[in-house]
Amino acid sequence: MGELSGKVAIVTGAARGQGRAMALALAGAGADVAICDVGEPAMPSVGYALGGALDAVAREIEAFGVRALHAACDIRRQAEIDAFVGRVLGELGRIDILVNNAGILTGNTPMHLLDDETFETTIAVNLTGSWRMSRAVVPAMIAGGNGGRIINIASVAGLIGTPGFGHYSATKHGLIGMTKTMAAELGAYGITVNAVCPGFLPTRMVEHTASEIGARAGLTQDEVYAQYLSVAHVKEPIQPEQTAASVLYLASEAARVVTGSNLVIDAGWSAT
């Protein structure tokens, strides 16, 4: 039996990349895992495909001998969130862990030139969506009386300025502020709230962003990646399994007194 046996976790944005890795890590530790991702192939202001094969990830979860639940859910829409959370409670019986991972990154535009749709969509997904999902889950955690873990996937961009991506940076700074506030509000219920701040992690989202930067600057994707790594002190990209290991720690009993914290996994990017 794994350390998280008998627990139920939700992971948003879990169709691929680090969301998938987090879901599998939690399942490997014995948790039943409910996963969701956006059902739309793309949002108008996002230039890369969203969503993915949730059913395939669910089968991978079930291979660990635990239960899986998957559903399309656009976290910009409260009705979809409420339906998803209701289904998790109805089918899996409880919610112990929430990983707010879903997010988007696009634009590569200075703040004063950014269009409304890009700014507002990024805020709606990365910040408001995480708040909406948390708002839906917390009452069930409190009612369950077993405490809980909320883990928000922020970014090194929530610790520094990111020219060209200020809208993204704003959402991640906001997510860290929300993390600290909710930690203070929910500690009395045994619910911890923490953030994970990854650095350069070459997911499909980052690949698309690198292509945008490269197209404007006349650089190849590898050259853009080299620029990302130039600001890190350990010259290697973060892997999804490394962020997943951080989530697993924060979900564990060992982290029961860790709350309001930012676990930074950025190869030293934010150190200077």
Q: Which residues are catalytic?
A: 168
Closest CA to 13 of 203, 144, 257, 185: 203
The 3-state DSSP class for residue 127 equals helix
- Work out the number of other CB atoms within 10 angstroms of the CB of residue 220: 11
Closest CA to 269 of 218, 242, 230: 230
Closest CA to 195 of 259, 270, 142, 124: 259
Q: Which residue type, as a one-letter code, is found at position 13?
A: G
Closest CA to 3 of 31, 37, 23, 24: 31
Report in angstroms the alpha-carbon separations of 147 from 33, 133, 158, 164, 213. 17, 17, 27, 40, 43
Token pair 């990983």 in the structure block, residue: 99
